[in-house]
Amino acid sequence: MKGRKREIKCIAWDLDNTVWEGVLLEGQAQQLRAGIPELIRTLDERGILMSIASRGEHDLAMNRLREFGLDEYFLYPQISWAPKSASVRAIADSLNIGADALAFIDDDPFERDEVAATLPEVFCIDAAELDSLADLPEMNPTYLTNDSRRRRSMYRSEIKRQDVEAALPATEFLASLRMVFTIGEAVEGDLARAEELTVRTNQLNSTGYTYSYEELDSFRRSSRHKLLMAGLDDRYGSYGKIGVALVQLRDEDWLIKLLLMSCRVMARGVGTVMLSHILLLAAAQGKPVRAEFMRTGRNRMMYLTFKLAGFREVDRKDGVAVLEHDLGSIDPFPQHVEVRAIS
């Protein structure tokens, strides 16, 4: 188990004198800053999302980005006359990520200071330092996975879902997605994504533990552990690999050492599927199930997920709670999701 390092999930860009030279409203934005297209594409390929926190006229700025061939890279752009901190907060809320996973780039020290004072968790960067941006540790994920390379397109699919969701009642919307939840024991090709999820997932994470590729591979090979991976697809595309569970197979019980799910599926009503799957497997072996839970300040939703699934707290030591399920009643899988166990 290794310590968590800070990884940036999204960059909020200023535009004037940052992405392009000059001020758009003064007719000066005739060219991009040197190296900007290549930098944006490099970061996008690493799975780092892009957005905009800039002052100006929204349609005018987006049209200029479209002319430069860059508009498709920016999700939930915030271009208005609001304070930059409000724009950055709106981006975090739209992407459902914490402020500590955001970087803000601006040429104006006043704007950087305003964001830093209001949202001190945000990583503020001077636009004068763009030449070294791609070399920063925060901008270099440990592994590049298929899911990370497709992250922007997966968020684009999510925007389409949100448009449909706004027009339908909740239950009808979920049924319309035709979701397929797959779950099975991890294979070697899953390990990089599993490590990435332990580093990046904060809210739906039972302990906040992070594990290295080598540690996860050891658990995968161990006869005393189950390392499970979950994926989710629907009519609009794939969410990718969205869940990891590590279960220690003890003589007296099964102990869930880690359970996490990507925050992107928080509203899809699939939070208890992995737990129900583990409980069914354990029940077939006649083993009670316990789980470790450590409060991190951001994972209350995961605690509620355990409670809703029928777990109760039976012990606590050094800040780690032990939850237990008696297997008397295991929640069925949600009706709006098809669950497929894969081998």
SS3 content of the chain, % helix, strand, coil (to 5): 40, 25, 35
Same domain, 190 and 308: yes
- How many other C-beta atoms lie within 10 A of the C-beta of residue 25? 13
Same domain, 338 and 253: yes
Does residue 3 form part of some domain? no
What is the domain range of residue 178? 146-342
Does residue 315 form part of some domain? yes
Distances (CA, A) of 139 to 49, 153, 154, 170, 331: 11, 19, 20, 37, 40
CA-based nearest residue to 232, from 304, 334, 141? 334
Same domain, 134 and 153: no
Does residue 122 form part of some domain? yes
Q: Are 99 and 89 in contact (CB under 8 A)?
A: yes
Same domain, 263 and 161: yes
pLDDT confidence of residue 2: 40
CA-based nearest residue to 337, from 173, 161, 175? 175
Domain boundary among 139, 159, 178: 139
pLDDT confidence of residue 4: 47
Same domain, 53 and 107: yes
Does residue 4 form part of some domain? no
Does residue 189 form part of some domain? yes
Total length of the chain:
343
Does residue 5 form part of some domain? no
CATH number of the CATH domain containing 160: 3.40.630.30
Q: Whole-prediction pTM value?
A: 0.79
Dist. CA 207–CA 166, nearest whole Å: 33
Domain boundary among 114, 139, 164: 139
Same domain, 227 and 275: yes
Same domain, 70 and 198: no
E strand intervals along 186-336: 225-234, 237-249, 254-261, 289-294, 312-317, 320-325
Dist. CA 227–CA 217, nearest whole Å: 9
Same domain, 105 and 192: no
Same domain, 126 and 211: no
Does residue 155 form part of some domain? yes
Same domain, 278 and 317: yes
Does residue 192 form part of some domain? yes
CATH number of the CATH domain containing 70: 3.40.50.1000
Q: Tens-digit pLDDT profile for the chain (343 aa)?
A: 344 457 899 999 999 999 999 999 998 878 999 999 999 999 999 999 999 999 999 999 999 999 999 999 999 999 999 999 999 999 999 998 889 999 999 999 999 999 999 999 999 999 999 999 999 999 998 778 888 889 999 999 989 999 999 999 999 999 999 999 999 999 999 999 999 898 877 788 999 888 999 999 999 999 999 999 999 999 999 999 999 999 999 999 999 999 999 888 878 989 899 999 999 999 999 999 999 999 988 899 899 999 999 999 999 998 899 999 989 899 899 999 999 999 7
Q: How many domains does the chain have?
A: 2
Same domain, 271 and 319: yes
Same domain, 119 and 184: no
Q: Which residues are within 8 A (CB) of 35 and not within 5 positions of it... i.e. 6 or more apart?
A: 130, 131
